[in-house]
Amino acid sequence: MSTRLLIGIAAIAGVSVCGLMSALVNSKMVDQVNGRLPKDVQFSPLGWYLSKTLRLHREYRRLFPDGHLLLQVRLLIALMFGSLMVCAWALGFFGR
């Protein structure tokens, strides 16, 4: 096996792990925010899309100004996309 292939496999594993961890941290964020919001405006755990996610992040920042979960989610997403770029490089998407 070539070194690039091994790096690509490790990068795919990194994408998977970071994606799963960011989903778990996001779920924890939903639980914390829902604990402080009235019942009629709480977030449903199903059906996520961009505007709902951005609303969750705004509410988290408003309710927990010193909270660290938003930073964790952003860091994990950045690491996930970085791993994706490494994987694309390893598979030869950027040429030689």
**Separation CA 21–CA 10 (nearest Å):** 16
**What pLDDT band is residue 94 in, cutting at 50, 70 and 90?**
confident
Percent of all residues in the chain with a pLDDT value above 70, rounded to a whole number: 99
Over the chain, what is the mean pLDDT?
Answer: 94
* C-beta separation of 18 from 77 below 8 A: yes
**What SS3 state is found at 37?**
coil
What is the pLDDT, as a whole number, of residue 1? Answer: 76
The predicted-structure confidence for 58-93, as pLDDT tens digits, reads as follows 999 999 999 999 999 999 999 999 999 999 999 888
Residue 96 in this model has a pLDDT that exceeds 70:
no
End-to-end Cα distance, the chain: 19
Picking from 44, 2, 6, the residue whose alpha carbon sits closest to that of residue 27 is 44
The predicted-structure confidence for 33-64, as pLDDT tens digits, reads as follows 999 999 999 999 999 999 999 999 999 999 99
Residue identified by tokens 């490494």 is 86
Which ranges of the chain would DSSP assign to H, the alpha helix?
3-36, 50-63, 69-90
